[in-house]
């Protein structure tokens, strides 16, 4: 199975979930999506992650993002796990968890890494845009919980740079200066696109105040 790469179309699938049958592309609609996998239900690190994801519901909604998790366990176990998550993380799980008992989605998304485990899925996360293109892939070791502040930051960057001729520098966050892309050289176009002006640190590193994001907050 080829590795899923940036810019590839996210594979469509139909699979059972804690919220009923999911046809992925139809469920995603015109939204951005975050699909993240877990090796099994009732795992401690994943329990904290799913609780945190539920608590970030409003942050994802502001960015027009739908979130969906995956575990290879069946739906009935998902229901029991959700009860644990709600109780221990003091929240209410408000997104589907795919039941991938037959490993169909795991195969489509290359989540079985034999050097890690011949049967359990790795902990990968995919950001998918409204055109169903894969825009970010992160694979975490089992011992390390995901940083959802970073995931939100990357989504902010993707949504900003999709609509403006900019890139975001290291450690950028909402409101910081951004970089004018090197391919943009026409002074008149630059003045039109960036009326607040810019600072040329070098001819190729030009900083400008962040343009208004395309998705309102």
| Contact between residue 97 and residue 20 where contact means Cβ atoms under 8 Å apart | no
Q: How far is CA 113 from the centre of its chain?
A: 20
Active site residues: 46
Cα–Cα separations (whole angstroms), residue 18 to 70, 99, 131, 156, 174: 10, 7, 25, 28, 34
- 176-179 contact pairs (CB < 8 A, 24+): 176/210, 177/207, 177/208, 177/209, 177/210, 178/207, 178/208, 178/209, 178/210, 178/211, 179/205, 179/206, 179/207, 179/208
- 24: exposed, middle or buried (C-beta count within 10 Å: 0-12, 13-18, 19+)? buried
Q: Tell me how crowded residue 134 is: count the other CB atoms within 10 A of its CB.
A: 20
């Amino acid at each position: 199975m080829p590795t899923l790469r940036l810019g590839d179309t996210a594979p469509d699938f139909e699979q059972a979930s804690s919220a009923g049958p999911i046809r992925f592309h139809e469920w995603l609609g015109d939204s951005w999506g975050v699909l993240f996998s877990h090796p099994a239900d009732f795992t401690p690190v994943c329990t904290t992650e799913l609780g945190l994801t539920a608590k970030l519901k409003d942050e994802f909604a502001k960015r027009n993002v739908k979130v969906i998790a995956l575990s290879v366990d069946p739906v009935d176990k998902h229901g029991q796990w959700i009860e644990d998550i709600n109780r221990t993380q003091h929240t209410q799980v408000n997104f589907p968890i795919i039941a991938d008992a037959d490993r169909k989605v795991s195969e489509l998304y290359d989540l079985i890494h034999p050097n890690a485990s011949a049967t359990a899925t790795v902990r990968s996360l995919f950001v998918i845009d409204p055109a169903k293109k894969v825009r970010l892939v992160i694979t975490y070791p089992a011992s390390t919980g995901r940083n959802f502040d970073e995931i939100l930051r990357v989504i902010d960057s993707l949504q900003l740079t999709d609509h403006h001729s900019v890139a975001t520098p290291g450690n950028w966050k909402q409101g910081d200066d951004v970089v004018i892309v090197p391919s943009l050289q026409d002074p008149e176009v630059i003045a039109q696109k960036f009326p607040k002006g810019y600072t040329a640190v070098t001819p190729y590193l030009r900083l400008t105040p962040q343009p208004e994001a395309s998705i309102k907050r």
